[in-house]
């Protein structure tokens, strides 16, 4: 992971493939307790209470609000339920299920005869991998032009999506068909690396084989290279009538309709301290600590725990954080490998500018961000063009936490209402 000896060009970071994890998927047993959380509007009280029995696959409605549904991913009884508002004003509903070792499946999905066109189909799919990418694509009155099904993983050392495609290609065509009905979109394409070309073909739609270097599998970069369209990254791709979903999500949907059971588990890559990725399947809501225990990965104070991969994952501070429908990887970094950021100034070496796939003038941007000039940063130095890949921080020889500053800038702009104004 070092800078190569010859340094004339931008860094070349290759994505990992299935070769790195191996083809085996280890099943993680259902933990004693699983957790869920949902961001909700302030002031709503939960309608679900401790002690209520739930079955695997049951659609729970913890609030009056019909849009907040949670799939119970195991059988058991409801444990704690709480609603809390954090320092940034976000309100979160959290609850847990004390599980039983044996699954009893809830029959509602099958009995209700849910189809792709059902009004509330999405409410049964809250544990579908990549569901947050799918929801905005369902615009029945005004369907999108194109949906791209990505067979790539977004971060390094991660092979979750590729492994899903490899092992689940049989459900790809069904998943695509359901997605077409659900969204009304006619043009669907599958993008995949060369090693998965034959699996991608099984979707029965147009296939684009690409061999990207990091961060080329980012949805916006994929759309740019395959469809030739872009939109300012602070706006959703649906603005240009394009959607990107993961192959894993589409396959899981195909499987759900095949089995008549909603998805409850997720494939993920666990990256241990030795940087060796392992593929596992776990129930959504499994605490990270349970994964690590099962895999005999020990963690101790000073280590780093990350949901996601090494370039753009999110740092977490507790082993109780659950695996969510968007968690493609869990990474543990040994304390000896933690590289502390610095408070040094930028020396204008230009490495970041060379590395940035979005052509952001990072060397100038960082000067404004360090001084809290967020609006100027957006107006003059393309803060909003950043696709959040982390390469700038990766190459900065002064070890400035550039990516952190960028996210801070975007956060501040969102709070100040600047984004709505400028897009208005």
Bridge partner residues of 329 (DSSP): 269
**Using CB under 8 A, which of 211, 348, 371, 416 touches another protein?**
348
**Using CB under 6 A, which of 81, 144, 392, 413 touches ligand SF4?**
392
Footprint of another protein on 62-91 (CB under 8 A): none
Cβ proximity to ligand SF4, 243 vs 357, nearer residue: 357
- Residue 358 as a binder of another protein (CB under 8 A): the answer is yes
- Residue 2 as a binder of another protein (CB under 8 A): the answer is yes
Cβ proximity to another protein, 184 vs 341, nearer residue: 341
**Using CB under 6 A, which of 48, 319, 398, 408 touches ligand SF4?**
398
**Using CB under 6 A, which of 391, 405, 410, 418 touches ligand SF4?**
391
Enter the tokens of residue 171: 């459900």
> Dihedrals φ, ψ of 360, to 5°?
-85, 135
| Neighbouring C-alpha atoms within 13 Å toward the C-beta of 328 | 25
- Residue 169 as a binder of ligand SF4 (CB under 6 A): the answer is no
Cα–Cα distance, 69 to 66 (Å, whole number): 7
Footprint of another protein on 192-231 (CB under 8 A): 220, 224, 230-231
Bridge partner residues of 91 (DSSP): 40, 85
C-beta of residue 264 within 8 angstroms of C-beta of residue 56: yes
Coil/strand/helix, residue 391:
helix
Coil/strand/helix, residue 374:
helix
Residue 296 CB, nearest distance to another protein (Å)? 16
- Residue 28 as a binder of ligand SF4 (CB under 6 A): the answer is no
Bridge partner residues of 76 (DSSP): 54, 99
Residue 345 CB, nearest distance to ligand SF4 (Å)? 8
Count of residues in contact with another protein, rule CB under 8 A: 79
Enter the tokens of residue 213: 């270097």
- Choices 133-141, 160-168, 202-210, 356-364 (CB under 8 A): range interacting with another protein: 356-364
Contacted by 366, from another protein, ligand SF4, none: CB < 5 to 8 Å by type: ligand SF4
Residue 90 CB, nearest distance to ligand SF4 (Å)? 23
- Residue 386 as a binder of ligand SF4 (CB under 6 A): the answer is yes
Please state, in angstroms and as integers, the Cα–Cα distance from residue 239 to each residue in 143, 343, 391, following that order: 12, 38, 26
Q: In terms of Cα–Cα distance, which of 386, 384, 385, 391 is closest to 311?
A: 391
Footprint of ligand SF4 on 332-361 (CB under 6 A): 346-352, 355-358, 360
- Sign (positive or negative) of CA dihedral 363, 369, 373, 378: positive
C-beta of residue 122 within 8 angstroms of C-beta of residue 325: no
- Residue 11 as a binder of another protein (CB under 8 A): the answer is yes
C-beta of residue 57 within 8 angstroms of C-beta of residue 25: no
Cα–Cα distance, 102 to 406 (Å, whole number): 46
Cα–Cα distance, 212 to 215 (Å, whole number): 7
Residue 213 CB, nearest distance to another protein (Å)? 14
- Residue 287 as a binder of another protein (CB under 8 A): the answer is no
> Dihedrals φ, ψ of 214, to 5°?
-55, 135
Cβ proximity to ligand SF4, 205 vs 396, nearer residue: 396
Cβ proximity to ligand SF4, 36 vs 403, nearer residue: 403
Residue window 289-328: x/- pattern of binding to another protein, with contact defined by CB under 8 A: ----------xxxxxxxx-x-xxxxxxxxxxx--------
Cα–Cα distance, 354 to 32 (Å, whole number): 49
Cβ proximity to ligand SF4, 360 vs 378, nearer residue: 360
Which residue bears the tokens 């509903």? 93
Q: Where are the alpha helices (DSSP H) in 141-206?
A: 160-168, 172-183, 197-201
Cβ proximity to ligand SF4, 242 vs 386, nearer residue: 386
**Using CB under 8 A, which of 130, 233, 263, 272 touches another protein?**
233
Q: Which residues are near ligand SF4 by CB under 6 A? A: 346-352, 355-358, 360, 362-363, 366, 386-392, 395-398, 400, 402-403, 406
């Amino acid at each position: 992971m070092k800078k190569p000896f010859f340094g004339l060009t931008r860094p070349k970071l290759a994505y990992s493939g299935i070769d790195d994890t191996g083809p085996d998927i280890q099943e993680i047993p259902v933990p004693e307790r699983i957790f869920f959380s949902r961001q909700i509007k302030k002031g709503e009280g939960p309608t679900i209470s401790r002690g209520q029995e739930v079955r695997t696959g049951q659609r729970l409605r913890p609030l009056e609000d019909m849009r907040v549904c949670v799939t119970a991913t195991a059988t058991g009884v409801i444990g704690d339920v709480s609603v809390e508002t954090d320092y940034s004003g976000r309100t979160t509903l959290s609850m847990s299920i004390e599980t039983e070792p044996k699954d009893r499946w809830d029959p509602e999905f099958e009995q209700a005869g849910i189809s792709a066109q059902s009004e509330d189909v999405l409410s049964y799919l809250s544990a579908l991998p990549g569901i947050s990418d799918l929801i905005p694509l369902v615009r029945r009155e005004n369907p999108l032009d194109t949906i791209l099904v990505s067979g790539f993983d977004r971060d390094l050392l991660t092979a979750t999506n590729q492994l899903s495609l490899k092992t689940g290609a049989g459900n790809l065509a069904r998943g695509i068909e359901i997605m077409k009905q659900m969204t009304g979109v006619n043009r669907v394409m599958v993008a995949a690396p060369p090693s998965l070309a034959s699996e991608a073909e099984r979707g029965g739609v147009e296939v684009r084989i690409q061999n990207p270097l990091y961060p080329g599998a980012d949805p916006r970069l994929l759309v740019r290279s395959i469809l030739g369209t872009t939109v300012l990254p602070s706006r959703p791709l649906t603005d240009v009538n394009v959607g990107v979903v993961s192959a894993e999500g589409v396959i899981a949907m195909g499987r759900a309709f095949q089995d008549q059971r909603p998805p409850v588990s997720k494939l993920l890559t666990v990256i241990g301290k030795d940087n060796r990725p392992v593929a596992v399947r776990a129930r959504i809501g499994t605490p990270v600590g349970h994964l690590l225990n099962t895999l005999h990965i020990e963690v101790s104070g000073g280590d780093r725990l990350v949901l996601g991969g090494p370039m753009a994952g999110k740092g977490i501070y507790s082993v109780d954080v659950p695996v969510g429908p968007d968690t493609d990887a869990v990474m543990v970094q040994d304390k000896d490998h933690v590289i502390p950021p610095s408070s040094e100034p930028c020396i204008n070496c230009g490495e970041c500018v060379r590395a940035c796939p979005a052509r952001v003038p990072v060397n100038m941007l960082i000067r404004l961000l360090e001084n809290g000039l967020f609006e100027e940063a957006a107006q003059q130095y393309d803060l909003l063009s950043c696709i959040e890949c982390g390469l700038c921080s990766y190459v900065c020889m002064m070890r400035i936490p550039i990516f952190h500053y960028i996210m801070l800038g975007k956060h501040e702009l969102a709070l100040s209402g600047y984004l709505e104004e400028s897009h208005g």
